[in-house]
Amino acid sequence: MKIDILIKNGIIIEFDKNPAISSIAITDGKILEIGKELEQKYDAKQIIDATNKIVMPGFINTHSHVAMSYFKGLADDLPLQEWLSKHIWPVENKFLSAEFVEDAALHGCAEMIKNGITTFSDMYFFGDQTAMSAEKIGIRAVLGEGVLDLPVANYQNADEIFAYIRKMHDKYEKSELIDFAVAPHAIYTCGKENLIKAKDLALELGILLHIHLSETKQEVQNCIKKTGLRPVEYLDSFGFFEGDVVVAHAIWIDENEQNILSKNNTSIAINTNSNLKLASGFDSFKSYLDHGVNLSIGTDGVASNNNLSIIEEMSFTSKMQKALNNDPTIFPAKEMVQIATIGGAKALKKCDQIGSIEVGKRADIILIDINNIEAQPMYDPYSHLVYSLTSEQIKDVIINGKIVMKDRQLVNIEEKELIEKAKYYQKKIAEFNHVR
């Protein structure tokens, strides 16, 4: 039988069994079979020799702002409000446009792939351009158009954003890679009326609802002052969690709120690096697990991380949680890898499609080279994925059954063009910052 790709003799990560050397047959974007000696059975257009490679599901990044690429390292080590109001918002105000986002998103998508991310769930503006860039590079994305009360980007009001989301939902209906989502920015930028409209739209279209929530103590205190309720309780009071919801950050959430999230199958996108870098805080996620809340990994934007390494997120998250809980056994390596893959799939309600290597699922697979001194010796692939390796060892990325990175070279775009464009924008942004 003719197939598209045969991945041969890799160390396959299947969560219900020990890692073992096996092969994967891929065709029409899906995993057809997992087994040994598949070469006899299939005639593959492309054969990938996965000897000395870990073959695993691609990472799923459930919270990002991919088009913030050109703001990487623009302003660090600043108090949050100053960072936002004196640096980030002014540059966004000056530069955000369809063209800027298309370029920046292409750069960001390229970084995602180099970090082994095969699906990302984004929150930003000009989602159509982000979608074009994502499709061009071949990455899977759930694109949440940001909703705020005040005018933002090219919108005069939230109703325009809702109309745009409807339009995009229709436009990308048949896309195998792109979904749209409704992304009310936060409870302090989006009043109750627009939060309800956002929730209703997501429910009506059957799409994801994606919000920043309980990122800082101040946010929680302000919510209590204003509504008498904690943020999750406040949102729950008007059925915000009824549909498919991902809340990003969520580090100031008490047990009652955890129960609400769990009861509603609402997932959390953990953003450890961002939370720490902005001194937003930290929390033990053990309690969330105990309350049955689904966890996933986000990177936030590169202006507050400042890279898109899921491996670093897994590493720091696991270690932080061990120390916070005074328990080195908590968040072990395999669990972290699952949170970064199947946990993300659950969050995006795409468990039937992605998040693990299983027959019938989409072929979103990454190959990680262990034939190097950083990865040798290896006793447990999961351990290495979380504690030893870096994105440098991620060599090949397959998304929807197509190779998008091979031997650490992007297939659909030239990295040097992205670099030139980044330098072009860097000059303009640096000049703008200098003169104001």
Binding-site residue total for a copy of itself (CB under 8 A)?
Answer: 71
How many Å apart are CA 314 and CA 77, to the nearest integer?
23
Pick out residues in 388-407 that bind a copy of itself (CB under 8 A). 388-392
Q: Which x/- pattern, by CB under 8 A, does the window 219-258 give for a copy of itself?
A: ----------------------------------------
Residue 19 and residue 381 in contact, taking contact as beta carbons nearer than 8 Å: yes
Residue from 51, 371, 409, 431 binding a copy of itself (CB under 8 A): 371
Amino acid letter at 303?
A
Amino acid letter at 111?
E
Residue-wise DSSP of 392-421: GGEEEEEETTEEEEETTEESSS-HHHHHHH
Residue 362's nearest CA partner among 24, 79, 41 is: 24
Interacting span for a copy of itself (CB under 8 A) from 29-37, 106-114, 201-209, 218-226: 106-114
Least spacing, CB of residue 399 vs a copy of itself, in Å: 17
Nearer to a copy of itself, 256 or 426 (CB): 426
Nearer to a copy of itself, 279 or 359 (CB): 279
Residue 53's nearest CA partner among 334, 366, 383 is: 366
Nearest 10 degrees: Cα torsion 11, 15, 18, 19: 10
Assess 15 for contact with a copy of itself (CB under 8 A): no
- 3-state class (DSSP) for residue 342: helix
Q: Which x/- pattern, by CB under 8 A, does the window 47-76 give for a copy of itself?
A: ----------------------xx-xxx-x
Assess 285 for contact with a copy of itself (CB under 8 A): no
Least spacing, CB of residue 144 vs a copy of itself, in Å: 24
Assess 305 for contact with a copy of itself (CB under 8 A): yes
Residue from 8, 65, 107, 230 binding a copy of itself (CB under 8 A): 107
Angle at 318 between CA 293 and CA 21, to 5 degrees: 95
How many Å apart are CA 244 and CA 181, to the nearest integer?
10
Assess 426 for contact with a copy of itself (CB under 8 A): yes
Which residues, 6 or more positions from 264, have their beta carbon under 8 angstroms from its beta carbon? 236, 241, 242, 245
Assess 318 for contact with a copy of itself (CB under 8 A): yes
Q: Where are the beta strands (DSSP E) in 214-329?
A: 245-249, 267-270, 294-297
Least spacing, CB of residue 293 vs a copy of itself, in Å: 21
Residue from 9, 48, 68, 83 binding a copy of itself (CB under 8 A): 83
- 3-state class (DSSP) for residue 177: coil
Assess 20 for contact with a copy of itself (CB under 8 A): no
Assess 325 for contact with a copy of itself (CB under 8 A): yes
Nearer to a copy of itself, 150 or 323 (CB): 323
**Alpha helices, DSSP H, located in 251-369:** 255-263, 272-277, 286-290, 310-324, 333-340, 342-347
How many Å apart are CA 392 and CA 413, to the nearest integer?
19
Residue 45's nearest CA partner among 368, 435, 403 is: 403
Least spacing, CB of residue 333 vs a copy of itself, in Å: 6
- Cβ count within 10 A of residue 92: 19
Assess 275 for contact with a copy of itself (CB under 8 A): yes
Assess 191 for contact with a copy of itself (CB under 8 A): no
Nearer to a copy of itself, 4 or 92 (CB): 92
Interacting span for a copy of itself (CB under 8 A) from 34-42, 121-129, 268-276, 345-353: 268-276
Assess 85 for contact with a copy of itself (CB under 8 A): no
